Amino acid sequence: MHLSAIVVFLGLFFLIAFLGFLSARWQRADLGQLHEWGLGGRRFGAWITWFLIGGDLYTAYTFVAVPALVFGAGALGFFALPYTVLVYPLVFAILPRLWSIAKHHNFITAADFVAARYGSPALALAIALTGIVATMPYIALQLVGVEVVIAGLGFPTHGVVGELPLIVAFVVLAAFTYTSGLRAPAAIAVVKDVLVYITVLALVIVVPLQLGGFAKIFADIPKHLLYLPPVQGNDLGLQSFYITLALGSAMALMLYPHATTAVLSASGPKTLRRNWIFLPAYSFVLGLIALLGYMAYAAKLPSNPSLAPYFHAYGPQFAMPGLLLQYFPGYFVGIGFAAVAIGALVPAAIMSIAAANLFTRNIYRAYWHPNCSAGQETQVAKLVSLVVKFGALLFILLLPTQFAIQLQLLGGILILQTLPAIVSGIYTRWFDPRALLLAWALALAWAIWAASLTSFQKSSYALHLAGWTIPGYIGLYALLLNVLLALVGTLLLRSLRWHSTVDHTDAAAYEELRQDA
């Protein structure tokens, strides 16, 4: 047990729990309205949006998994960097329009938009279900980050006593999300980021000094890990996988329900665009975090007898916590571990709110209780956010962690298949909803089949084309198939004049509103 680390950790944890409950009073409004509880009233300015999107996208799992990947797989793990470089230009070009349309019609979710744009409840249901299914394992994975740091504090993580801290953390999270809605993670995100920046800066300054500089660290890494292997004959190998994985992950990130929730909660397109100029600051930190994997490698952490049992239990995932334990005093370990744990609660809260919004709007209200009042709607969303979180908790407690990791991998592939319906809808009503739905279903089926080839261990598929072998990200290949099928299907329906022209959205909604200051 590390007493000073535990004291600091608990102190910070109580601070954010208090903030979470207090945030219900912030920009006070009627929390019985879904756009207030679930989107913070669409009033978050540039600063809060920056913290909220940052807290949303750079999760605890990122802090643990990215160094773990670099530690274990070398250069391939660095794909997280091009991925975050690609994501902001993409969202900059596309999402402000979605914000304007959503504001105009009071849409809470992307599926709301699809339902109105195509007049197709079935297509909207497909989008909503994909979102919920992709989000659930993502929430569960946040718990893995918490589990690793709780173990690092010296608690056992197995058996009933060992799981108690995790359960307590989650009950607190569930309670303040229930009462405060999206305001809670927005308020906590600020504290989380301060802790993360302090921890990461300390790590990237102190550890290289201890290890004798970056040149020495990189000299310790085997050459075959340091770069992607050269193209062998007609096989592009890891190179094409690296690029397609980065591009596909960037597009998938934009479509995740929790990303939509954070984007729609901003006060306007100008806020969003200004915010995206500065969001790469997080990616910069992410790049430094990725390098921690090499530092852990060069420091030969697993051969340290006091850390060996953790590496035995958690593998490369202990790279970042291990560096903290190796090089820092107890109180600072407490700060770093609190950053990871709180870094799990922020996105877990946003994700559960996003999933709850989807369920309430696109399943409960669309199919079950179309005439429900605003108050009933919000009450359902609050309850569903609880169900979603406890589902994720049970997931981690009862099933092997590996399942959550594999499902999250699959989740990214699945969510990417909602792109044609959502993104094309922002620009044009040309596509036919039935063609989009069929293309979505077939692309999903192909993607799941392709992932099953590696027993859901990898997200790579080797495409053979004109004598070349092009291993690539399954999600991106499935998306190409998806777009192709939607195009062919729509052309066919249009040539037979069987296409639908229903559109419940206003043309004026596509012009940006001047609302945002």
Partner 1 sequence: MKIDSQHPATGRSAGVRHRLGLPGLIYLAIPCLAVLLLPLYNRADPQLFGIPFFYWWQILWVPLSGFFLYLAYRRVEKGR
Choose the stretch contacting partner 1; rule: CB under 8 A; options: 18-26, 212-220, 414-422, 492-500.
212-220
- Shorter beta-carbon distance to partner 1: residue 281 or 480: 281
Helix (H/G/I), strand (E/B), else coil: 513: coil
119 binds partner 1 (CB under 8 A): no
Q: Which of 19, 26, 104, 308 binds partner 1 (CB under 8 A)?
A: 104
Least distance from C-beta 239 to partner 1, angstroms?
A: 6
Q: Which of 284, 367, 468, 498 binds partner 1 (CB under 8 A)?
A: 284
332 binds partner 1 (CB under 8 A): no
- Shorter beta-carbon distance to partner 1: residue 156 or 213: 213
Q: Where are the alpha helices (DSSP H) in 153-279?
A: 159-180, 183-211, 214-219, 223-226, 237-255, 257-264, 269-278
Helix (H/G/I), strand (E/B), else coil: 464: strand
Q: What are the structure tokens assigned to 227, written together?
A: 């770069």
A 10 A CB-CB count for 85 gives 14
97 binds partner 1 (CB under 8 A): no
Q: Which of 38, 181, 269, 489 binds partner 1 (CB under 8 A)?
A: 269
Dist CA 85 CA 18 (whole Å)? 35
DSSP sequence for 263-304: HHTBS-HHHHHHHHHHTHHHHHHHHHHHHHHHHHHHTTGGGS
25 binds partner 1 (CB under 8 A): no
Least distance from C-beta 42 to partner 1, angstroms?
A: 11
DSSP state of 230: P
Dist CA 493 CA 36 (whole Å)? 41
479 binds partner 1 (CB under 8 A): no
**Which conformational region is residue 431 in: left (phi greater than 0), alpha (psi within -120 to 50 degrees), or beta?**
beta
Q: Which of 7, 209, 277, 399 binds partner 1 (CB under 8 A)?
A: 277
215 binds partner 1 (CB under 8 A): yes
Q: Which of 188, 190, 183 is nearest to 29 (CA)?
A: 183
- Shorter beta-carbon distance to partner 1: residue 218 or 368: 218
Q: Which of 10, 15, 175, 274 binds partner 1 (CB under 8 A)?
A: 274
Least distance from C-beta 242 to partner 1, angstroms?
A: 6
Provide the CA 508 distance to its chain's centre, in angstroms. 32
76 binds partner 1 (CB under 8 A): no
89 binds partner 1 (CB under 8 A): yes
- Cβ pair 342, 195 in contact under 8 A: yes
Q: Which of 4, 106, 234, 452 binds partner 1 (CB under 8 A)?
A: 106
Helix (H/G/I), strand (E/B), else coil: 66: helix
- Cβ pair 40, 27 in contact under 8 A: yes
Choose the stretch contacting partner 1; rule: CB under 8 A; options: 167-175, 223-231, 391-399, 403-411.
223-231
- Shorter beta-carbon distance to partner 1: residue 276 or 297: 276
Residues within the interface to partner 1 (CB under 8 A): 75, 78, 81-82, 84-86, 88-90, 92-93, 103-104, 106, 213-218, 226-228, 239, 242-243, 246-247, 269-270, 273-274, 276-281, 283-284, 287-288, 291, 508, 511-515
